[in-house]
Amino acid sequence: MTVKRVVPRDKAHRDVEDAIDHYAREAGLDIALSFVTALEEAYRVVAEHPGIGSPRYAHELALSRLKHGFDSRRGHQQNQ
């Protein structure tokens, strides 16, 4: 199995930092850390299975490589 490296865009990094700050402030450190753990798991799954997801929104957002629809908690692509 070829594992690809996940390289989030700068905007994604900013969004993640904002989400972590929000969760820590509004719900507490445990929730913020749970978000980080879930995000790391999602990155791992995407790295191991780079073809998962659907390019459904890629055209509208002008992001040719965008994929969506994977639920890492379930371990499979969601039905759209």
CA 78 to chain CA mean position, Å: 14
In a domain, 3, yes or no: no
What is the C-alpha separation between 16 and 3, in angstroms, rounded? 23
Tokens of residue 64, six digits: 């040719």
Contacts 24+ apart (CB under 8 A), 31-36: none
Look at residue 13 and give its three-state secondary structure.
helix
Whether 4 is covered by a domain: the verdict is: no
Question: Which residue would you say has higher pLDDT here, 77 or 58?
Answer: 58
Model confidence at 79: pLDDT above 60: no
Residue 17 pLDDT exceeds 70:
yes
Number of domains in the chain: 1
pLDDT digits (tens, 9 = 90+) for 19-44: 999 999 999 999 999 999 999 999 99
Is the pLDDT confidence value at 45 over 80? Answer: yes
Q: Residue 77: is its pLDDT beyond 60?
A: no
Look up the domain containing 30 and give its range: 11-74
DSSP-derived 3-state class of residue 68? strand
pLDDT in tens, 58-72: 666 666 665 555 555
